[in-house]
Structure formats: structure tokens, C-alpha cells
Amino acid sequence: MRSPCLVIVSALTVVGCASSGQAAPEDSAARVTIMIANEFANAVTAYAVWPGGRRSRLGEIQPTRTRTFETVRAGDEISLGLELTAAPPVGTTGGPTGFQGGAPARINPEMVVSEGIMISSGEGIEWRVLSTGSLVFRRLVPE
């Protein structure tokens, strides 16, 4: 007789967990699409940076390439963090100095972070890393 009781309690626990009201990570409304176009002379590693400093590594983007990433939304505001993944080409001024405002070049500079952008569930953002090292963004229209 104890077995049926355990089955009922287990079933109620599963139902209670399933109806907690929080979006599952697989839920597309809880995800954010991030497109990054790298027009800079070097490869960059991109991070989604959320309020409180939490960051999620998105991946590496080679020069003149565009990549699209999806990540779980972890707040109402998102920033883009970038790290250079290569030294500047020999004989050029591109590379680490482009992200440091003219500071001495380092092969592994600290991550630079863009200003925050308010974002809703299911929304997307495109960032462009310009050849000058500047960042511009636009909102992506949901499909």
C-alpha cells in the first residue's frame, strides 16, 4: 500500500516542477539571437555580458566573417564583450591598440565591453565590429 502513495507523491512533484512558470532553456522566447559581423583586421572572441558581470562565451569570429549565436537570456540588458584572439598583422597599426584607445599593444588584452542594450525575450541584436575598432548595433526583426 505504500507503493501507490509514493507514485502519487512523485507524480505531484513532477507536475509541480513542470508548471513553475519559468521558461525552459529550450523555449525560444527565453533565448536571444546575436549576430556579429567582424570587419576588423583580427579575429575576436565574443561574449554576451549580462547585468552583474555574468558572461557567456559565444565564440570566435574571424576577420571579414559573420557568425550567428543563440544564448539563454539572462537579464533585461545585454552588452557585447570582445577579446582579440591574435596579435596585429606585422607592419600594421591594427590589433590590440584598436580596442585600447592607443594604449600599448598587448597580445592578450583585457576584454572590452560595449554599452548595455535593453532586450526582450525572443529578440535579436546584430553587432558590427568596424575596421576602426568601433562597434555599432541594430535590432534584428523576428522571423
What domains sit in the chain, N to C, each tagged with a CATH number?
27-140 (2.60.40)
Q: Which residues make Cβ contacts (< 8 Å) with residue 56, sequence separation at least 6?
A: 47, 48, 50, 71, 72, 74
Tell me the mean pLDDT in the region 1-7: 43
How far is 51 from 103, CA to CA, in rounded Å? 27
Q: Read off the DSSP letter of residue 115.
A: P
**pLDDT > 90 fraction of the chain, expressed in percent and rounded:** 45
Question: What's the confidence (pLDDT) of residue 111?
Answer: 80
32 close to 75: Cβ distance less than 8 angstroms: no
CB contact at 8 A, 95 and 107:
no
How confident is residue 93, by pLDDT bands cut at 50, 70 and 90? low
Q: What is the DSSP string of 63-80?
A: TTEEEEEEEE--SSEEEE
Helix and strand counts by DSSP (H, E) for the chain:
2, 9
133 falls in which pLDDT band (50, 70, 90)? confident
Q: pTM here? A: 0.66
Looking at per-residue pLDDT, the higher value among 91 and 16 belongs to 91
Average pLDDT, the chain: 74
Q: Pick the range with the lowest mean pLDDT from 7-16, 30-39, 92-101, 109-118.
A: 7-16
User: Looking at residue 59, what is its pLDDT?
Assistant: 95
Residue found under cell 500500500: 1
Of residues 47 and 23, the one with the higher pLDDT is 47
Give the bridge partners for 125, in sequence order: 34, 139
Highest mean pLDDT (candidates 25-34, 43-52, 114-123)? 43-52
- pLDDT given at position 82: 92
